[in-house]
Amino acid sequence: MADFTTHYLFGQQVFGALNTQQAALIGPNMDAYNWGQQGPDLLFFRRGAGRLNLPAMGNRLHCGDPDQLFHEMASYVALCKSTASYPVLYAYFMGFICHYCLDRAIHPYVYFVQSRRLAENPKLHPSAAHARLEADIDTKFYELLCHKPVASFHPAKYYPLSPQVVYSVVHLYQRILSILLEENIPERELELCFPQCQRLTRLQYDHFGVNRTVANAADLLSGQHGALSSHVKRPKVHYDVLNLAHQKWHNLWDPGITYTLSVPEIIQGAKEDALTMIEAYRDMLHTGILTSLNLQISFDNGSIKGPTA
């Protein structure tokens, strides 16, 4: 996946390219749209839930059938059309589309670079290598677009704990997890994803270097190199993590095709895909006639674990 800030910036780029009608439908519920931009990653932040392994469920949604996932999500949003939750769910769903389009587009590049890093340093844990790359993309992409250090980004400003958003999204996830994963999750466990996401993401934006120091010490004590520190965003990244030099790379699942796209170019392509997909689902929800978009590429496109993982 792309990391937190990149997903937010991507969502804003998509919103800025929407037509007036679409923007008017989403604009009053930007907090819901922003939460949607984080997609199933929201489940990654619920730790300590006993037998309910919400992070694993988030992974299963990332690796599962996207066409089925979006059909069930759209069905639930349509079902709520006459309720107070509908405008919130609509905005959330459109943000969720952004998450999917960016993930499936950028993941092949991230996994390719990750595989090279692991070949150079076999002691590095795969998840730590993945997290470090995405955190570094956050740093450089934010700097490129906003001309400020990434630590100046304050997630809580754009991701408030709105009771209506939490209520609506929790019930959406209850339905999705029940239908797709046959998991019945208590409301409270899903509600806790939101404040825990706020707390943990705040630690990733290190204004004074304290968080990096603490995370490095914790990694040293645990013997897990980069397990925590890889998530903390560095103030400066001194290598071409955005591939602005257009070095060759390929999707690990299809090594026969070589690309030289930079991260900004990948993101531009994903934006066009998101606009098309948003328009398609807007029309479906407007008419009440839901059809398949035949989505075959998972969020986890190009995973180092292979296409069946």
Residue 101 lies in a domain: yes
Taking alpha carbons only, the member of 137, 130, 96 closest to residue 304 is 130
Residue 308 has pLDDT above 90, yes or no: no
- Higher pLDDT residue, 10 or 224? 10
Residue 206 lies in a domain: yes
Radius of gyration of the chain (CA): 19
Single pTM value for the model: 0.94
Residue 298 lies in a domain: no
How buried is 44 (Cβ within 10 angstroms: 0-12 exposed, 13-18 middle, 19+ buried)? buried
With bands split at pLDDT 50, 70 and 90, how would you rate the model's confidence at 206? confident
Residue 216 has pLDDT above 80, yes or no: no
- Higher pLDDT residue, 175 or 3? 175
Residue 299 lies in a domain: no
Residue 304 lies in a domain: no
Residue 127 lies in a domain: yes
Residue 308 lies in a domain: no
Residue 296 lies in a domain: no
- Work out the percent of the chain whose per-residue pLDDT is above 90: 79
- Please count the structural domains in the chain: 1
Tokens of 131: 């997290």
The 10s digit of each residue's pLDDT in 231-252 is 788 889 999 999 999 999 999 9
The 10s digit of each residue's pLDDT in 146-168 is 999 999 999 999 999 999 999 99
Q: Domain range holding 52?
A: 4-287
* Residue 83 DSSP class: S
pLDDT of residue 306: 87
